[in-house]
Amino acid sequence: MNASGSMLAATALPMSQSREANDADYYQDQSFLGEFVEMPPQPDPISAGLKKLFETVAEEPIPDDFLSLLDQIDAERSARQSGASPDAVKVSAGAKAQ
């Protein structure tokens, strides 16, 4: 409780105490700090794990299936560019070589 904590610090100390003693007491009790001192950034295990999971897959070499799909796309592009009917080449997934 930061509010009541500082209230305590302000009221519980007798007036007779020196300023130095006040400060010493005040700074010794740091139990309240947890409430509002920002903790250093902790690596969050869930985020780190998810990122790692994602990166691990993303760094894999791209399988050949994907490249043949791109070949189809490129064939469709050049067919269109050369004026042939674009329907001559149709890109479809799953036209994998068995």
Partner 1 sequence: MSEPEPSGTTPAAPPRRVERTPEEDLKFRNELVASIPALRAFARGLCGDRELADDLAQEALAKAWGARDSYLPDTHFKAWLFRILRNHYYSQGRRAGRMAAWDEELAERTLISLPGQGAAIDLADMQRGLATLPAEQREALLLVGASGLAYEEVAAIAGCAVGTVKSRVARGRQALLKFMNGPAEARPNPDPDKPKKSSEMARAA
The site for partner 1 (CB under 8 A) is made up of 42-43, 45-60, 62-63, 65-66, 69-70, 73-74, 76-77, 80-81, 91-94
In angstroms, give the least distance from the CB of 67 to partner 1.
9
Looking at the Cβ atoms of 14 and 45, the one nearer to partner 1 is 45
Tokens describing residue 49? 């794990």
Q: What DSSP state is assigned to residue 93?
A: T
In angstroms, give the least distance from the CB of 50 to partner 1.
4
User: CA-CA distance, 66 to 81, in Å (whole number)?
Assistant: 23
Q: Quickly list H helices, the chain.
A: 2-11, 19-28, 33-36, 45-58, 64-81
In angstroms, give the least distance from the CB of 22 to partner 1.
38
